[in-house]
Amino acid sequence: MRSHQKATALLRDDDEFLIKFKCLKDLYKVKTSKKLAQHLGITQQAVSDAKRKKTIPHTWIKKLQSNGLSNGFENLCLSNLEFLNPDITRDSGNSKIVFHEWIDRLKTKIEAKSDKELSKILGISPQAVSEAKRRGKIPKTWIEKLKVIGLNPLDDIEVLLENEEGKTQTKEAFSMTENDKYFASEFWVLSVLNRIGAKASLALGNIKSADIVVQLTDGTLRTIDVKSRANPSDWSADSIELPGRPNHFVVLVCFEGKIEQLEEIPSAWVIPAHKIGIFIKTVKKRKVISRALIMHKGNQYRFRWDLITEK
């Protein structure tokens, strides 16, 4: 498995073992070490010893070869290892430099101004960030946490590789103010509602905590508070009053870091105001709508424009 060396250049040894061990269980479609031992024809003690040593024994690989499963195992390992730690530099001596650039881009994307803010968003200690920077490696736990908030860590790594000589290239971002981003979200929501036949218009400050008003055919008014993010992160909830009033909705819009890519459609969650409370948490005495909670529990509200127009 020589090709694993490239994929694991930035991966810790214990993480590599855990991934390979998981791939073995996935290969045999089992969930427990006991079942895996049965499939491999070994004792549970042998599995425990491998876990302790953090090494897949050569005898296990031979069993896979004899059963015609070695290629399947290798492909599983490669796909998992390359996702977790792709070869982000052509010169292994530059791995820490590239990792630091990746960290900086990550902080920009999730709007963290410091390593301390980054650690809070990821739910880890500041020491963990410092240790990762010292090692120049992306911990497996970070990847899982980033996936929860809807980020693909490979996006920025691919940008770092655009230059054949390994020099970083940065895409020039549009010079957009926060108001520009907010209006982009508000008018996009207004556009969608009109496209589905809703009689929607801007509230123009006439209704408290409402950006858009929708009038149903029976005369009922529905109000909408649009919350906007250019990059995947929490939305402000400072202006949200609980419990939410009837016929009021909160629409969460996120351009997923692609606000300058006009062909991309933003993500949107249409949430009745009386349901928004379960997604709100307090961070530094400030109320926010948690991106992590939305991704974990809010899928039923994704693009649910019909909740606004139904009678």
| pLDDT range class, residue 64, cuts 50, 70, 90 | confident
Q: How far is residue 84's CA from residue 138's CA, in Å, rounded to a whole number?
A: 8
**Residue 35 neighbours by CB distance under 10 Å:** 13
Whether 170 is covered by a domain: the verdict is no
Residues 200 and 298 in one domain: yes
Residues 43 and 108 in one domain: no
Q: What average pLDDT does range 5-26 have in this prediction?
A: 59
Whether 168 is covered by a domain: the verdict is no
Instruction: Look at residues 217, 225, 219 and name the one whose alpha carbon lies nearest to residue 244.
Output: 225
Residues 206 and 147 in one domain: no
| pLDDT range class, residue 293, cuts 50, 70, 90 | very high
* Local structure of residue 302 (DSSP, 8 states): B
Residues 149 and 237 in one domain: no
Is residue 116 over pLDDT 90?
Answer: no
Residues 242 and 303 in one domain: yes
Map tokens 């290629």 to a residue.
71
Q: What is the CATH number of the domain that holds 236?
A: 3.40.1350.10
Q: Among residues 84, 114, 148, which one ends one of the domains?
A: 84
Whether 166 is covered by a domain: the verdict is no
| Averaged confidence pLDDT in the chain | 76
Is residue 185 over pLDDT 50?
Answer: yes
Distances (CA, A) of 129 to 36, 102, 103, 231: 35, 13, 9, 21
Residues 265 and 297 in one domain: yes
- Which pLDDT score, from 0 to 100, does residue 77 have? 64
Whether 173 is covered by a domain: the verdict is no
Q: Which residues are CB-neighbours of 117 under 8 A, at least 6 positions away?
A: 107
Exposed / middle / buried, residue 300 (Cβ in 10 Å: 0-12, 13-18, 19+): exposed
Whether 276 is covered by a domain: the verdict is yes
User: Which tens digits make up the pLDDT trace of 141-159?
Assistant: 776 677 666 665 555 544 4
Whether 196 is covered by a domain: the verdict is yes
Residues 111 and 194 in one domain: no
Residues 286 and 250 in one domain: yes
**In the beta sheet, which residues pair with residue 202?**
212
Is residue 34 over pLDDT 80?
Answer: yes
Expressed in percent and rounded to 5, the helix, strand and coil fractions of the chain are 50, 15, 40
Whether 171 is covered by a domain: the verdict is no
Whether 114 is covered by a domain: the verdict is yes
- Which pLDDT score, from 0 to 100, does residue 91 have? 37
Name the phi and psi angles at 231, rounded to 5: -120, 160
Residues 250 and 299 in one domain: yes
3-state secondary structure of 219: coil
Q: What average pLDDT does range 156-176 have in this prediction?
A: 41
Q: Among residues 24, 59, 84, which one ends one of the domains?
A: 84
Domain region containing 10: 4-84
Q: Among residues 106, 134, 160, which one ends one of the domains?
A: 160
Helical packing angle, 115-122 and 140-148, nearest 10° = 70
The tokens for 78 are 């490669």
- Which pLDDT score, from 0 to 100, does residue 84 have? 42
Instruction: Look at residues 88, 103, 111, 272 and name the one whose alpha carbon lies nearest to residue 181.
Output: 111
Q: How far is residue 189's CA from residue 256's CA, in Å, rounded to a whole number?
A: 16
Q: How far is residue 119's CA from residue 59's CA, in Å, rounded to a whole number?
A: 41
| pLDDT range class, residue 56, cuts 50, 70, 90 | confident
Residues 58 and 117 in one domain: no
Residues 134 and 11 in one domain: no
Alpha-carbon dihedral angle through residues 193, 199, 203, 207, given to the nearest 10 degrees? -110
Residues 205 and 287 in one domain: yes
User: Which tens digits make up the pLDDT trace of 234-267?
Assistant: 898 888 888 888 999 999 999 988 888 888 899 9
- Which pLDDT score, from 0 to 100, does residue 208 have? 66
pTM value is 0.47
Q: How many domains does the chain have?
A: 3
